[in-house]
Structure 1
Amino acid sequence: MSVTDTPAATGHRTGRWIDDWRPEDPEFWEAGGKRVARRNLTWSILAEHLGFSVWLFWSVSAALLAGMGFEFSVSQLFFLVAVPNLVGSLLRLPYTFAVPRFGGRNWTVVSALLLLVPTLLFAVAVQHPGTPYWVFVLISATAGVGGGNFASSMANINFFYPARRKGLALGLNAAGGNIGVAVLQLGLPIVVGGAGLFGLVAAGTGGLHLERAGYLYAGLAVVAALMAFCFMDNLSAARSNARDVAAVVRHRHTWVISLLYIGTFGSFIGYSAALPLLIKLEFFVPTPLPAGTGINFAHFAFLGALVGSLTRPFGGWLADKYGGARVTLATFAAMILGTLAVLAALARLAPNPTLDPAIATENQAVFPWFLVAFLFVFAATGIGNGSVFRMIPVIWKRDTRQSSAVIGIASAVGAVGGFLIPLAFGAPWIDDPVEAVRTSFAVFTLFYVLCLVVTWGAYVRRASVARVAGLADARI
């Protein structure tokens, strides 16, 4: 039995449609299904990678705006970082249901081309120092289209793979997108003429040129759209209706999973967005102190997203092997320990209102402890992202359409954390920005405790809600 992936003229449809898709059939899978699924996964990863990069564009750009002549407050900068995450979370639901409506390949082309809006607007605005703050807020909001790409991409790939392979496939797809944040945070400062790569790359002598990054990613978006157009497929089986959506909305586990995903993915995207500004706020020391005093965020900001991205497939693999609930439980325990370690590092920072070199040097010595603790948290969020998403097709193993609908809802709700975390760090209602960060981490730690208790009560304990309801076995 072979898989036909050539253009099909069925009704009014145009483009590459596959009408016969049976991934759960081993013979069908080995006869060509696996090859088609891998090809679609490959180009899905590219499109999602760029979507994540554009979504988190402002995580680095906001910290570099001062070098282009823009003078915004700490709260204003954190808000610029937060806004795309809010818009992206709202777009994830319609993006999820765009796959059944238009086809996964077709929507990948459209969603990639939509990335031209935030990138080109950004490139124009940063070249004019007189651009008002409200314009930047609107432009940062358009970057939310990159956040929507994740939901449609994950829902699409969920249809291509059999249940026994979904954990790793979804983990690879998500990790390929997540790592776009790290690539952006590593590459953008270098591309625009800033420093980077642990200081191995020096700042350009011609000043900063943020517009270069906008034009670069606009060009890459066109490439991703072309690759999706030429090499991806639509699945006729990837269909859903209002009944599927209504069923999962009424399902209590949809909202339990969404809560847990706020803790894992919300933390990953929120911390990734805020880390460059956090390092600059807590450890950067401006002139007139000697050069080399303090930490340059451009040297290290990409590490958090990189670690979190690389551990996501590992979380999916662990969940396939030991069960998503058990791995998620361990993840939240690790996140609690990690955030407490970050708080301990921040508690060692001394106020330095007079820019005393001795105090600045002491604070700089705290940075390695802060970074290691934070990277530990990032690693845990990545594992948790993979394990929570692996739980979805297990709970809804009887209906792939409902499973994909839950992926959209959970990813939308989870992404709200990416908005709340930067907003909390830049809280204008707390006069001291450093104290706002410390308070935020204390609140986040308590939230992780709540997530741990919910995971144990709903999925891990012998009399858990899931098992009593007969929704899943011990390997959920």
Structure 2
Amino acid sequence: MSAGRRKGWVEDWDPEDETFWESRGRRVARRNLVLSIASEHIGFSVWSLWSVLVLFLSPEIGFPFTPGEKFLLVVTPTLVGAVLRLPYSHAVARFGGRNWTVFATAVLLVPTSLAAYFVQRPGTPLWVFLLIGALGGVGGGNFASSMTNITAFYPQRYQGWALGMNAGGGNLGVAVVQLLGLLVIATAGDHHPAYVAAVYLPLIVLVSLFAALRMDNVTAVRRAGGGLKEAARHPHTWWISVLYIGTFGSFIGYGFAFGLVLQTQFGSTPLQAASYTFLGPLLGSLARPFGGRLADRFGGAPVTAVTFVAMAAGTGVLLVASRLGSFPLFVAGFTVLFVLTGLGNGSTYKMIPAVFADRAGKKVTEGADAADAFARARRLSGAVIGIAGAVGALGGVAVNLAFRAAYGTQGGSGTPAFLAFIGFYVVCVVLTWAVYMRPARGRPDGVRRPVRTSGVTRV
């Protein structure tokens, strides 16, 4: 089988055909994955740009914002990015993976340029920054379109790894922009926030050009579209979305708020806060592919359940550190929590294609056409990726609103927020066990331990 082209679209794409995959598919998929990671990485960096810029906004340089106003500035791009994930996932099917990647990357020039200009203008009112932050939220939508696109390129047996690499490389944008903020503060001081934004302007141009020249549109993505309404009626869509609130919502919420929490609770300077904020998102991003790998081997549900138990315990460490006033223990606890969110992100997303592939397999055993059943499974998987990505990102909004409520008053404490997080993680453990692990007729096998038959992993 060969992959023909028609009007810029690669046809006859079938990664499940091992002959096609080994002869041509793997190379094409890898090239698209690399450029998809680059685009998503830039998107995440722009999306989380204000988590760094707020550290610079002090009365000394003409920005007398309260902690509550700063948390609001961090919440705004989180919310917009979450809302845009649904239309972004649909846009890939409508316009093609390459075409949409070029647009979604190039449009980031607008919020990045505005941020670089206005953060150097003392006295700029809060509403201007909120508007620019909202525009920066478009970077959060890149995740959904990128993941939906990559799902169509890889065979189901490699999707845990491929989705983990794609998402992990994108998530690294949170750590990289924070590391860049540290570099700027350490070398140029805390009066030059525009340098952080300006670095991304040429990178956006370069990634847009490479995507235009080297990525592909595949008809498989177009066939995978149109499943949002069907997916919205499926209960597994919402169960997995709730779990993704706990994993990705925690990752992005903590990533955006960590520096402000250190400044508010421990009185850290911008340099001190920036010195620690990048480490957790960095390790969490690197952990995401390993979460996908573990899910490929042991099943998504067991890995996800264990991760939530550990996240509840890690949040308990933050409560202890807060009461003791221990800065080292607090930073260490948060760093471990970031790693756990990364593992959980990878394992939870692996559950999506596994659930629907399992259902397709059962339909085939009942006499359904295999090609139609698995095409429907891919369509639903792409749609659920968009829905779960949007709902999960709203979890980041909830995390930041919880911190804003906890720290918004004079002498506020993070204890109420941490207790709420622990309660939610316990709910996620119970949900994972009840829906995906408890033995019962009709439960999807694909999210539990994979079954090997004749040397082939069936999920």
**Normalising by structure 2, what TM-score?**
0.90
Amino acid at match of 2:222: R
Amino acid at match of 1:251: H
Deviates more, 1:46-55 or 1:182-191: 182-191
Per-residue displacement from partner, 1:364-421 (whole Å, max 9, x unpaired)? xx11111111111111100000000000001111311110000000000000011111
The 5-angstrom pairing of residues 385-396 of structure 1 reads 385-396=345-356
Structure 1 match to 2:170: 177
Q: Are positions 1:27 and 2:27 aligned together?
A: no
CA distance in 1, matches of 2:220, 2:331: 46
CA distance in 1, matches of 2:27, 2:308: 36
Q: Are positions 1:377 and 2:337 aligned together?
A: yes
Superposition deviation, residue 243 in structure 1: 5.8
Superposition deviation, residue 239 in structure 1: 1.9
Structure 2 match to 1:327: 303
Which of residues 425, 430, 438 is equivalent to 2:403?
425
Structure 1 match to 2:208: 225
Which of residues 415, 440, 447 is equivalent to 2:417?
440
CA distance in 2, matches of 1:446, 1:152: 32
Superposition deviation, residue 188 in structure 1: 2.2
Q: Are positions 1:340 and 2:319 aligned together?
A: no
SS of 1:239's equivalent in the other structure is helix
Question: Which runs of 5 or more structure 2 residues have no equivalent in the other structure?
Answer: 358-373, 451-458
CA distance in 1, matches of 2:447, 2:139: 33
Superposition deviation, residue 85 in structure 1: 0.6
Amino acid at match of 1:417: G
The 5-angstrom pairing of residues 246-257 of structure 1 reads 246-257=229-240
The verdict on how the C-alpha distance between 1:243 and 1:143 changes in structure 2, with shifts beyond 3 A counting, is: closer
SS of 2:222's equivalent in the other structure is coil
Superposition deviation, residue 458 in structure 1: 0.3
Amino acid at match of 2:135: T
Amino acid at match of 2:188: G
CA distance in 2, matches of 1:412, 1:172: 19
The 5-angstrom pairing of residues 87-102 of structure 1 reads 87-102=80-95
Superposition deviation, residue 465 in structure 1: 6.3
Amino acid at match of 2:378: T
CA contact 1:284–1:296 (8 Å) conserved in 2: no
CA contact 2:299–2:446 (8 Å) conserved in 1: no
CA distance in 1, matches of 2:256, 2:342: 15
Structure 2 match to 1:459: 436
Structure 2 match to 1:55: 47
Amino acid at match of 1:414: G
Structure 2 match to 1:407: 385
Per-residue displacement from partner, 1:41-100 (whole Å, max 9, x unpaired)? 000000000000000001111111115321100000011011101000000000000001
Superposition deviation, residue 215 in structure 1: 2.1
The runs of 4+ residues in structure 1 deviating greater than 6 Å are 470-473
* Number of aligned residues: 432
The verdict on how the C-alpha distance between 1:235 and 1:433 changes in structure 2, with shifts beyond 3 A counting, is: farther
Amino acid at match of 2:125: P
CA distance in 1, matches of 2:297, 2:408: 45
The verdict on how the C-alpha distance between 1:274 and 1:472 changes in structure 2, with shifts beyond 3 A counting, is: closer
CA contact 1:122–1:214 (8 Å) conserved in 2: yes
CA RMSD, 1 decimal: 1.9
SS of 2:221's equivalent in the other structure is coil
Amino acid at match of 1:324: G
Superposition deviation, residue 212 in structure 1: 2.0
Amino acid at match of 1:389: Y
Q: Are positions 1:267 and 2:250 aligned together?
A: yes
Which of residues 286, 289, 293 is equivalent to 1:313?
289
Amino acid at match of 1:59: S
Structure 2 match to 1:167: 160
CA contact 1:90–1:412 (8 Å) conserved in 2: yes
Amino acid at match of 1:308: G
Amino acid at match of 1:211: A
Structure 1 match to 2:9: 17
Amino acid at match of 2:443: A
Superposition deviation, residue 325 in structure 1: 0.3
The verdict on how the C-alpha distance between 1:295 and 1:55 changes in structure 2, with shifts beyond 3 A counting, is: closer
CA contact 1:89–1:416 (8 Å) conserved in 2: yes
Q: Which has the higher helix share?
A: 2
Per-residue displacement from partner, 1:415-473 (whole Å, max 9, x unpaired)? 001111112111179634542x2110110100000000000000011127634xx8866
CA contact 1:248–1:406 (8 Å) conserved in 2: yes
The verdict on how the C-alpha distance between 1:119 and 1:408 changes in structure 2, with shifts beyond 3 A counting, is: same
SS of 1:427's equivalent in the other structure is helix
The verdict on how the C-alpha distance between 1:209 and 1:472 changes in structure 2, with shifts beyond 3 A counting, is: closer
CA distance in 2, matches of 1:295, 1:113: 31
Q: Percent identity?
A: 50
Q: Are positions 1:155 and 2:132 aligned together?
A: no
Superposition deviation, residue 222 in structure 1: 0.9
Q: Are positions 1:204 and 2:161 aligned together?
A: no
CA contact 1:280–1:297 (8 Å) conserved in 2: yes
The verdict on how the C-alpha distance between 1:459 and 1:428 changes in structure 2, with shifts beyond 3 A counting, is: closer
Amino acid at match of 1:124: Y
CA distance in 1, matches of 2:149, 2:225: 18
Structure 2 match to 1:189: 182
Superposition deviation, residue 283 in structure 1: 1.9
Q: Are positions 1:235 and 2:218 aligned together?
A: yes
Superposition deviation, residue 282 in structure 1: 1.8
